[in-house]
Amino acid sequence: MKMKYRLFFILIIFFSAFIAQTSASLSPAEIMLNSSSGVQKINFNFEGSQGNYIIFAQGELNSSLSFQENSFSLSSSAKTIECTFSPDDASPGVHEADVVLMNLNSGEQYSARILVSYPYPEKYVNATLQVNNVLEGSETGFVVNLNNMGIENVSDASANIEIFNSLGTKVAELKTNHASVSSGESVEIRAPWKADFPVGEYKAVADIEYDGNSISEERSFNIGNMTLDLQQAIVREFALGGIAKFELLTQNLWDRNISGVTSDIKITDSSGNSIAEFKSTPYDISPLEKADIVSFWDTSNVNAGNYSANVHITGSGMDITKVLSVDVSDNSIGIFGLSEIQQNSNTSSGPNLTLILVIIALILVSANIGWFVFIRKRLFRRR
């Protein structure tokens, strides 16, 4: 018994040390500074295992960073590391440096990144166009992030956004709101939009104007999803011991051909043991069309019962996975797990045997419970 307790405590100590090591971190992981703010103090928080550490800087701005202490011994689980940034004469733009903390005992390193914006002369705006894939007919919008990296304020900025389809035809044109941007600051301008256009690939081109200057940004996006929809899984005319023909009715929801679509089905029993794996040949599915992806399962060594089917469909760089329940009987295979039950057999359809057995079992259990309560009350009254 003592050996069991010792082993238990050893495992606790081991896992505690493992968790402490894997949860070590240096935060914040990234920080943005503006050189025009002059000398700046930065505090990093470190949580990790005990040991001896050194800290140093590397990258473009390594000479601009200094630390209150370049080495220390960590006796607790946390420490605050004080760092000072002193701007130098770097060129306009964003420059970076990494703060690196190294454990001298294990050799493991932890790092955080410092980004420093050095202003441009006069007026200079950096713009980023943000757009997400959207569903057909949904309300969405475009966001332009404006970052004034110049030393002068911008009094008026706005954008005109044109939207083109995959053929290069302009289908819409939008205008954002107007905004001012102070030096060293960022603002967002927006243009709402409803995606009342067919499924497909589109491109947004934003022409940004600010105080007589102009820049352009563009981004591609999709209306609808490049995906396949598994709508039905069925096995027809089946007899146990023979070949089961799995038909997966699949629709291409994209506006372009999806090529090389294949299915890979893995059958496992209730204990998770692998029973079979079978694949289909490749199919090409035209835009918005449906196709039966067919594969075959040899059931010569399979017993009737309940199984799981892991269905994996791939094609043109996309994939979907469904886990379905498969009920195998002598003359049918029922497939459960989609929006409806799909079952076909050689005989006329009737009540599912598994469902009947479950109902009978519930009735018997209820009857036994009722009988037990009745007998107990009778015995209690006699006492």
Rg (CA), the chain: 33
Q: What is the domain count for the chain?
A: 4
Q: Check residues 264 and 184 and name the one with the higher pLDDT.
A: 264
Residue pair 151/119 in contact by the 8 Å Cβ criterion: yes
* pTM beyond 0.85, yes or no: no
- pLDDT band at residue 372 using 50, 70 and 90 as cut-offs: low
The confidence band for 191, taking pLDDT boundaries of 50, 70 and 90, is: very high
Is 311 found in the same domain as 213?
no
With b for 16 or more beta-carbon neighbours within 10 A and e for fewer, the 274-300 pattern comes to ebbeeebeebebeeeeebebebebebe
d(CA 86, CA 40): 7
Segment 224-234, tens digit of pLDDT: 766 788 999 99
Residue 233, in any domain of the structure:
yes
Q: Are residues 31 and 103 in the same domain?
A: yes
Q: Is 234 in the same domain as 294? A: yes
- Alpha-carbon distance of 363 to 186, in angstroms, equals 69
Q: What is the mean pLDDT of residues 152-165?
A: 96
Would you say residue 155 lies in a domain? yes
Domain end residue (candidates: 223, 247, 266): 223
Residue 192 shares a structural domain with residue 251 = no
**Calpha distance 10→57 (Å, rounded):** 38
- 74 lies in the same domain as 155: no
**Cβ neighbours for 96, distance < 8 A, ≥ 6 positions apart:** 59, 60, 61, 113, 114, 115, 116
* 199 in Cβ contact with 291 (< 8 Å): no
Give burial (CB, 10 Å; 0-12/13-18/19+) of 132: exposed
172 within a domain of the structure (yes/no): yes
Residues 284 and 342 in one domain: yes
Q: What is the pLDDT of residues 101-117, one digit of tens each?
A: 999 988 889 999 999 98
Considering the domain architecture, whether residues 182 and 236 belong to the same structural domain is answered as no
Looking at 223, 252, 276, which one is the last position of a domain? 223
Give 333 or 346, the one with higher predicted confidence: 333
Considering the domain architecture, whether residues 275 and 373 belong to the same structural domain is answered as no
CATH number of the domain that residue 71 is part of: 2.60.40.3170
The 10s digit of each residue's pLDDT in 248-271 is 999 988 777 889 999 999 999 988
pLDDT of 17 > 50? The answer is no
Residue 382 is part of which domain span? 359-383
Q: Is residue 39 part of a domain?
A: yes
Judge whether 291 lies within some domain.
yes
> Is 11 domain-assigned?
no
The distance from CA 372 to its chain's CA centroid, rounded to whole angstroms, is 53
Output the pLDDT for position 20.
43
Q: What confidence score (pLDDT) does residue 16 get?
A: 46
Residue (of 361, 354, 325) closest to 342 by Cα position: 325
Evaluate whether 360 touches 353 at the Cβ level (below 8 Å): no
Q: Residue 349, exposed/middle/buried by CB under 10 A (0-12, 13-18, 19+)?
A: exposed
Q: In this structure, is residue 87 part of a structural domain?
A: yes
Taking the CB of residue 72, how many other CB atoms lie within 10 A of it?
A: 17
Q: Identify whether residues 90 and 47 lie together within a single domain.
A: yes
Q: Evaluate whether residue 16 is within a structural domain.
A: no
Half-sphere exposure of 202 (CA within 13 A, CB side): 27
pLDDT in tens, 268-298: 998 889 999 999 999 999 888 999 999 999 9
φ, ψ of residue 198 to 5 degrees: the values are: -60, 160
pLDDT digits (tens, 9 = 90+) for 36-71: 889 999 999 988 888 899 999 999 998 999 999 999
Asked whether residue 282 falls in the same domain as residue 234, the answer is yes
- Assign residue 177 the CATH number of its domain: 2.60.40.10
**Phi–psi pair at 186, nearest 5 degrees:** -130, 145
Domain boundary (207, 223, 239) is at 223
Which DSSP helix (H) or strand (E) runs through 156? strand 154-165
Instruction: Kindly state whether residues 201 and 87 are assigned to the same domain.
Output: no
- Res. 376: pLDDT tops 80: no
Tell me the pLDDT of the chain averaged across its residues: 84
Same domain, 69 and 133: no
